[in-house]
Structure 1
Amino acid sequence: MNKFFIMLLFFTAVLSARYESYPLEACQAFDNMKHTKNTDNLYLDPNRRYTILERHHKNQTLVLIQGENPAQRWVDYRCFPDEAPKNVSSQNSRSDAKEVLNTKKYKYTGPAEISKDNILALSWHHAFCQTHRYKKECKRNLDTLFRFKQKEHYFVLHGLWPQPKSKMYCGVPSHWVKLDRDKRWDRLPDPELSDEVEKALQEAMPGYVSHLHKHEWIKHGTCYGTDADTYFETAVKLLDQLNRSEIKRFFVQNAGKVVSIKEVRAQFDRAFGLGTGHHMQMECKGGLITELWLHIGGQSDDLAIGLKKGKRAPSRCSQGRIDRAGF
């Protein structure tokens, strides 16, 4: 009999502890406390009330999500307010949750000044696709390889990265950071771009079709100190200057050959001024030159000026083959 009363008291306490609340952000809802499984890739809706079943159990909150299987899901305890709402109408609770969400979701709190120490990462597109054939931006090469010889030879935009390396995700909500790190870039928000900049970016960054621009903006662009339009416009301008220089012509003329970093740096010295070559590092994979990382200083969108103000860059790759078009 005593055992019966103890169980009754336990279930009464559990039921009385239940309450409904709006989440503060779009948190992932996991099947288990270890956060190793999320059936249907489920996220909480900040505009929907959920039944709280258990709070602060090992820094987790157990919620009931009607219509899902399983319906009971574990979320981080920070997803909900610390206390159950008291004498507050449903509409007020909804408004409070929205206010917190909008502050975190739409208002970036990045640096007030433009970054003066950056890396402009440019990919030699043929080599990138040689090592990433599964990417959407590379599939057209497979489709056209046997129909016509690809005539495009150019560097494409990977990103513009404020330094030091730890400078990333400035003012970005945690759930977006999680999406980005999980490479679910299609679920990231679109950066606000003018039609002109968006068109130029689509041409300069083949990875646009794989949502690379969303990743670059969330991770790096938010720390650059400008809006997304200026950030990408600057990056495209810098890329265009390289593609109009002797560097691009050198890569085209030596396609299929192995070249040293000394040779490439000499081309930079000729194109952009003595010493600028040492502000460039080569990245290689599988014996191929895949990228050039240009260390740029100051706030100018003139590549020669930026390279002269940039830092000296050691390179892990001393030589590599310039890949030809096709696989």
Structure 2
Amino acid sequence: MRFLFVTAVLCLVLPAPASAFFKLDGYFIAQEVCEAFQSKNKQTNPGNITTSVHRAYEMLGLNKEGGDYFQVVIDGAPVTNSRWVSTSCGIHVVEAGTAISRPVDEDDDVVIDQSGSESTDNLLTLSWQPAFCEIRSGKKECRDLNDGLLPHTTRQLSIHGLWPQPKGKDYCGVPANVKNLDNPDNWNRLPSPEIDTDTADALRAAMPGFASFLHHHEWIKHGTCFLGDGGADEYFDDTLHLTDLINDSAVGDLFFNNVGGEITGADIRAAFDADFGAGTGERVEIKCTSDGGRNLINEIWISLKGTVTPESGLGDLMLAADTVGMGCSRGLIDPPGLQ
């Protein structure tokens, strides 16, 4: 039997920027029955999941330097199996011979920061999650959605990504060994983007693929080329800001009010025009997918030009971009569950 050593967490965590997530090896051993939160800030706990005394859980990390919450894996937990547990609830242990605590990246897989100006030519890609899950039903977020555990995905468009343009501008400063890991089966092995816990909590709700480590992939492939001064945290905060503007508009209402029905590409473009200014709809491309004879609207791609900030007006960013073809002209807004 391999031995486990108790680690003094606060002493062993290496220096890093304040509020950065720290990846930890080993296990969390629960010493009490404690709640395991989806969001530690909002104290949400889908499934009312608690730890079991003396049980070992795979350790993911610590919320920040000197932090007060471990992130651990609790298999079978709904919505996400990555849960936050108070550090007072148990102890962190590592297997004999393994590395102790370390920052997210090690020397052989460091993503090299790139110099240059922040990307001002971007493509925001948003998904209609029920349509996505018709053809990828085995993914964790899709199992949860189809089991009725993600009702918010029928009230919003979900984040796929924010992609610096032109096409092919990706993997900036990413070493070959990390790039070679970038396939869905290995996204959990990619370096974690350094984001604060508020951003991570918001992403879990806005990007259901977070459960499958989509955020790792989006950061490594696209975010590394965004070049915002705030790194990954700015990249995802800007993505969340733009997504909220769309979901809080006539566009979000159009999707929500037509679940189970059919809409046209012209309807989507008109909704953009209504809230963001005449002509903005001409910067939107609609993507559809076929499912057993049904034509499902599964994504919209929004072209943007200009620097994205928390104060950015979406209409200005869209109107500065070139017009694009409509793409799919008509499709169904898929309801949740396998049809």
TM-based fold match above 0.5: yes
Q: Tell me the SS of whatever aligns to 1:306.
A: helix
* In structure 1, C-alpha distance between the alignment counterparts of 2:301 and 2:152, rounded to whole Å: 25
Note the 1:143-162 alignment, pairs <5 A: 143-144=147-148, 152-162=154-164
Q: How far off is 1:126 after superposition? A: 1.5
What is the identity, as a one-letter code, of the residue corresponding to 2:200?
Answer: E
* In structure 2, C-alpha distance between the alignment counterparts of 1:149 and 1:309, rounded to whole Å: 35
Asked if 1:108 is matched to 2:112, the reply is: yes
| Superposed CA offset, 1:90-129 (max 9, x none) | xxxxxxxxxxx96663252434211111000000112111
Change (3 A) 1:229 1:271: same
Q: Which structure has the highest strand share of the two?
A: 2
**Counterpart in 1 of 2:271?**
267
Q: How far off is 1:267 after superposition? A: 0.9
Q: Tell me the SS of whatever aligns to 1:144.
A: coil
**Counterpart in 1 of 2:220?**
218
What is the identity, as a one-letter code, of the residue corresponding to 2:244?
Answer: D
Q: Which runs of 5+ in 2 are unaligned?
A: 1-104
**Counterpart in 2 of 1:193?**
195
Match 1:130 to one of 128, 134, 144: 134
| Superposed CA offset, 1:234-258 (max 9, x none) | 0001001111001111112222222
Q: Tell me the SS of whatever aligns to 1:234.
A: helix
Q: How far off is 1:168 after superposition? A: 0.3
Q: How far off is 1:138 after superposition? A: 1.1
Change (3 A) 1:131 1:305: same
**Counterpart in 2 of 1:20?**
none
Aligned residues: 225
Match 2:296 to one of 280, 288, 296: 288
Q: Which has the larger radius of gyration?
A: 1
Percent of aligned positions that are identical? 40
CA root-mean-square deviation: 2.1
Q: Is the 8 A contact 2:128 2:157 kept in 1?
A: yes
| Superposed CA offset, 1:12-61 (max 9, x none) | xxxxxxxxxxxxxxxxxxxxxxxxxxxxxxxxxxxxxxxxxxxxxxxxxx
Match 2:327 to one of 311, 316, 319: 316
**Counterpart in 2 of 1:255?**
259
**Counterpart in 2 of 1:87?**
none
Change (3 A) 1:113 1:183: farther
Change (3 A) 1:314 1:104: farther
Q: Is the 8 A contact 2:282 2:326 kept in 1?
A: no
What is the identity, as a one-letter code, of the residue corresponding to 2:304?
Answer: I
* In structure 2, C-alpha distance between the alignment counterparts of 1:129 and 1:163, rounded to whole Å: 27
What is the identity, as a one-letter code, of the residue corresponding to 1:225?
Answer: L
Q: Tell me the SS of whatever aligns to 2:285.
A: strand
Q: Tell me the SS of whatever aligns to 1:196.
A: helix
* In structure 1, C-alpha distance between the alignment counterparts of 2:278 and 2:227, rounded to whole Å: 30
Q: Is the 8 A contact 2:159 2:243 kept in 1?
A: yes
* In structure 1, C-alpha distance between the alignment counterparts of 2:153 and 2:333, rounded to whole Å: 15
**Counterpart in 2 of 1:304?**
315
Q: Tell me the SS of whatever aligns to 1:323.
A: coil
Change (3 A) 1:324 1:143: closer
Change (3 A) 1:322 1:165: same
| Superposed CA offset, 1:232-283 (max 9, x none) | 0000010011110011111122222222211211111001000000000001
**TM-score, with normalisation over the residues of structure 2?**
0.62
Q: Tell me the SS of whatever aligns to 1:190.
A: coil
Match 1:237 to one of 232, 241, 248: 241
